[in-house]
Structure 1
Amino acid sequence: MGDKLGFALPAALTLSNRYTVEAPISSGAMGAVYRAWDTQTDTAVAVKHVENTRHAQRFEVEARLLTQLRHPRVVQVLDYFKDERGQYLVMALVEGTDLHTLLERVGTPGLPVEEAIEYVRQSCEALEYVHAQQIVHRDVKPHNLILGREGIILVDFGIARLLEDPDEDEGTQGIGTPRYMAPEVFAGGGVSPRSDVFGLAATLWTLLAGAPPVYASPRKLDEVVPGVPPGIAEAVQAGLEMLPERRVASVDAFARALGARLEPAIGGSLASSVQQPDAPRSLLEAIAYTAAGVFTAAASSIALADATTGELVYQSAWGAGAREIVGVRLGPSQGLAGSVVSSGEPLAVADARSAPRFAARIAAGTGYVPYTMLIVPLIRERRPIGVLSLLDRRDGRPYGSADAERAALFAELIVAVLETDTEAVPSLGAPRPATVDTAHLTALPPVSGVA
């Protein structure tokens, strides 16, 4: 369990006609990371190689979403691709020392309490942003927290865990670093932000004690490390609860329990809207954000009908390809969304790329060609006024009729919210709001769980 896979890529190998492998960086149960040279940008990058070639669609969906993240404490994911050797995630190369190495160098056996808590506080800032984007890191541990010139940087998302099939005998039990992995994940169950809280609490224990905690140990941190304040020990214990429902609910709550205060939330939002949306920007983006979370979608969008031309105008979107899809117009009955408006019936598309009415040219123009789609009409008084579109389930499965039925109910709620808002869409009879510029650095509310 947790055995390293070794390094399969030789130096000087060129990947994707762009990245030249220079040297190995690290190797673990979920793949190896290499230093490489990007010949297009003339910069050094880190390339993670996952030899598991299963579930390539799921890898692509999640990797595409990771490329949208923008936060000073989160490594930037630059690219993703696959070949006959496996699948790859290209990340910015972070110069610095990971906390595991730092602990080995200067731990006695642990670090000073104040220093360790500061590292964890900064890690909480990174994870708070990641969780707000409905993403779980899945592999929080000292090895994946690098101390650079500007502080802690969270690296190496556990995307390879997505490639393990929970229905197979191995599940997720054979991968990862057990003592940092939340018990529910270790047992092959679902992940949530609370899973990352466990990894963070285990990381703090390790930084102070010099070794990771033992599952379900009755000993508290202050019994293992003399001098640790009882309040800190209690906070760590709450983060290490075996049952996720009893564990600290969020990284912000964990930081506060440690007596630490997070800096104001910053980072690039995954939501975007047109310059003059037909409803309040915050409302439309909140709807798109929530819809993506409820239906575990990698992307979501809201298009409303232009009362003059009858065209569908994509007003707001969240997730991968959001900035590219907003403002796109579809003619009456054009594409799958247009057909849903014409029919007034929800549509679950298991294989969007082969659907006869799929607007492939428009999708390609946005840079996002989905595998599976769920499109439901927004209906007021038996008249469609727009559509809600959901792209690519995060678990890799296709959308089906049961999803369409649930989404239709969700669409009714959307219309009701738009109707009761004081600045509803023009087709509902109220004026357009004033122009508001798209804010690319905006805080999003934290989520309690993701798929």
Structure 2
Amino acid sequence: MVEWISGGGMGAVYHGRRLSDGADVALKLLHDERHAARLESEARLLSRLRHPRVARVLDDRSHGARRCLVTELVHGPSLARLLEQRGPLPVAEALEYVRQLCEALAYVHAQQVVHRDVKPANVVLGERGVVLVDFGIARDLRGSGSGGATGAIGTPGFMAPEVLAGGTVSPRTDVFGVAATLWTLVVGKPPRFLEPTLLCERADGVDRTVAEAVRAGLEPDPYLRLPSVRAFAGALGAGLEPARLESPRVLETIVRSAAGVFHAAAASIALFDRAAGDLVYECSWGPGAEAVVGMRLPLGTGIAGAVLAAGEPEAIPSCRTDPRFARQVAASTGYVPGTMLVVPLRRRSAPFGIVQVLRDGAAFGPGDIERGSAFVNLALATLDADAGETLTGGS
């Protein structure tokens, strides 16, 4: 361990250094065994979250005698520390941090997770913008609970009224936390319980639109509050991009359907991580699928990267003779396909990922390109209707 970062009733977080490669990490050590279930829950939730604005779990040691959780270390101050150093922030700067925070939470909520402790101390300003950390009291809405935690748990000033009352937790709970965070960044302290004044009456430079959005986010009744962080960002005038296909259930549905339609031996979906400039394999089915998930290819690398860069679908009759074939993928999976079909996923006409179908036997050809494009468009349209989000275009 290099140094102490922060601490609380559950445990403490340290700046650590991994002995195997010298990499800097964040090490969360449990001090009170009564919170063991919470640490296990945090590890379980983080293991399924992969987003540039959410701290990644690197090693789960939440079981055993010396319980700990190892995550990526975000080099930079928390927004709480930034407030201590500088005082209230300019409105435009605060709005940008909150917009990025809404990006993180929109993804987290799509995974059926509610953070429950959104506050400046849990938002770290890294090299690529803000990163959401500390999922110690997060709630899994799929029914696995939150480490046995019940009742009013969270941080006063940022805790939604329904949490204080022991009511139902939902994404609207985090909307309250985001609104309280924005208030705090601009005013310098959190809003009072049932705050009666508008933000524009407490801080200079806040226009009426932003003030009304914050009031709607701080609405005590969750059923009257803005329903999502996406709606909150839109009300602020800092709208987010249309939702990506981030749900594992959605990705798996498309991958399995593609494999069945094209009689494939394997299929994968990779999405473009704009922050890193990489194509990231998010879901895979077939030989070596576990090795594929999480693999990154720089834009333009491999057949998949080339298709994303060009934005046009492509049928590869023979993978073995194509010089673009990413042999590192084959080395990880132990499978070299005979032929491949790659179709870009589009949002507002711009590609943001690819569907990749691999098989042996009959080579993919021009007719398959048309079929593949039709399949992807149909799959996205069906999922749009199911999710109530616009993934392929529109507003």
Instruction: Give the match for residue 254 of structure 1.
Output: 232
- 1:223, 1:128 → 2: CA distance? 29
**Cα distance change, pair 61–202 in 1 and its aligned pair in 2 (3 A):** closer
When residues 112 and 55 of structure 1 are mapped into structure 2, their CA distance, relative to the original with a 3 A threshold, is: closer
1:278 maps to a residue whose letter is G
Deviation at 1:52, TM superposition (A): 4.6
Q: CA deviation at 1:82?
A: 2.8
Cα offset for 1:217?
A: 2.1
Instruction: Give 2:62's match in structure 1, choosing from 82, 89, 96.
Output: 82
The gaps in structure 1 that reach 5 residues or longer are 1-20, 281-305, 307-312, 329-363, 366-431
How far, CA to CA, are the matches of 1:435 and 1:209 in structure 2?
53
Unaligned runs of 5+ in 2: 140-144, 270-281, 292-367, 389-395
2:3 to 9, 14, 23: 23
**Aligned-residue RMSD, C-alpha:** 4.0
CA change 1:82–1:148 in 2 (3 A) is closer
TM-score by length of 1: 0.54
SS where residue 241 of structure 1 aligns?
A: coil
**2:105 aligned to 127, 146, 150, which one?**
127
Q: Residue 22 of structure 2 aligns to which amino acid in structure 1?
A: D
Q: Is residue 44 of structure 2 the alignment partner of residue 68 of structure 1?
A: no
- CA shift, 1:153, in A, is 1.3
Q: Output the CA distance in 2 between the equivalents of 1:447 and 1:50.
A: 38
Three-state SS of the structure 1 residue aligned to 2:3 is strand
1:247-266 Cα deviation digits (max 9, x unpaired) = 11011110111111224545
Alignment of 1:193-232 (within 5 A): 193-232=171-210
Secondary structure class of the residue paired with 1:97: coil
- The one-character-per-residue Cα deviations of 1:131-161 (angstroms, maximum 9, x if unpaired) are 1111112211111111122211111223477
Is this contact kept in 2: 1:98–1:143, CA < 8 A? yes
Higher relative contact order (CA 8 A, sep 6+): 1
| Whole-angstrom CA distance in 2 between matches of 1:249 and 1:119 | 20
1:277 to 250, 256, 259: 259
Report Cα offsets for 1:309-352 as digits up to 9, x if no partner.
Answer: xxxx99999xxxx957x448xxxxxxxxxxxxxxxxxxxxxxxx
Distance 1:87 1:181, change over 3 A: farther
Q: Report the equivalent of 1:103.
A: 83
Identity, in percent, stands at 50
CA distance in 2, matches of 1:29, 1:214: 24
Q: Would the alpha carbon gap of residues 115 and 160 (structure 1) be closer, same or farther in structure 2, given more than 3 Å must change?
A: closer
In 2, the alpha carbon distance for the partners of 1:113 and 1:26 equals: 27
Q: CA deviation at 1:32?
A: 1.6
**Residues 30, 59 of structure 1: alpha-carbon distance in 2 compared, 3 angstrom cutoff:** closer
Distance (Å, rounded) in 2 between the aligned partners of 1:238 and 1:86: 44
CA apart distance, 1:207:
0.6
| Contact 1:33-1:46 within 8 A present in 2 as well | yes
Q: Provide the residue aligned with 1:93 in structure 2.
A: 73
Task: State the alpha-carbon separation in 1 of the partners of residues 238 and 138 from structure 2.
Answer: 32
Q: 4+ runs of 1 displaced by more than 4 Å?
A: 54-59, 83-86, 160-164, 264-269, 313-317, 432-438, 444-448
CA contact (8 A) 1:48 1:88 kept: yes
The number of residue pairs the alignment matches comes to: 285
Letter in 2 for 1:126: A
Residues of 1 paired with 2:43 and 2:179: CA distance? 26
Q: Distance in 1 between matches of 2:39 and 2:71?
A: 15
